Amino acid sequence: MGADRRHSVVDADCRSWDIPNLWVCDDSVFPTMGGVNPSLTTQTIAMRTADRIGKLAAVGSLT
């Protein structure tokens, strides 16, 4: 996850830079694996991504 397509696979919304409407919302967007169980963080990312998809769909911004 990052702000620059040269250094990341997905943007800050977990949306793929290269494939339209491909959203990655699991712990594979973490740059490294933490020292504790990431379950709550993973769920939070999925919920945030779903919310963002809903907001973009509501304004017709999904391509």
2, 13 in Cβ contact below 8 A?
A: no
pLDDT in tens, the chain (63 residues): 889 999 999 998 999 999 988 999 888 888 777 778 888 888 999 999 999 999 999 999 887
**In this structure, what token pair is assigned to residue 30?**
């973490």
Question: CA 22 to CA 38: how far, in whole Å?
Answer: 22
Q: Which domain holds residue 9?
A: 1-63
What are the φ and ψ backbone dihedral angles of 27, each rounded to 5 degrees? -75, 5
Q: SS3 for 44?
A: helix
Number of domains in the chain: 1
Question: CA 31 to CA 15: how far, in whole Å?
Answer: 15
Residue carrying structure tokens 């793929």: 16
Task: Check: pTM over 0.85? Answer yes or no.
Answer: no
Instruction: Provide the pLDDT for residue 1.
Output: 86
Instruction: Provide the pLDDT for residue 5.
Output: 93
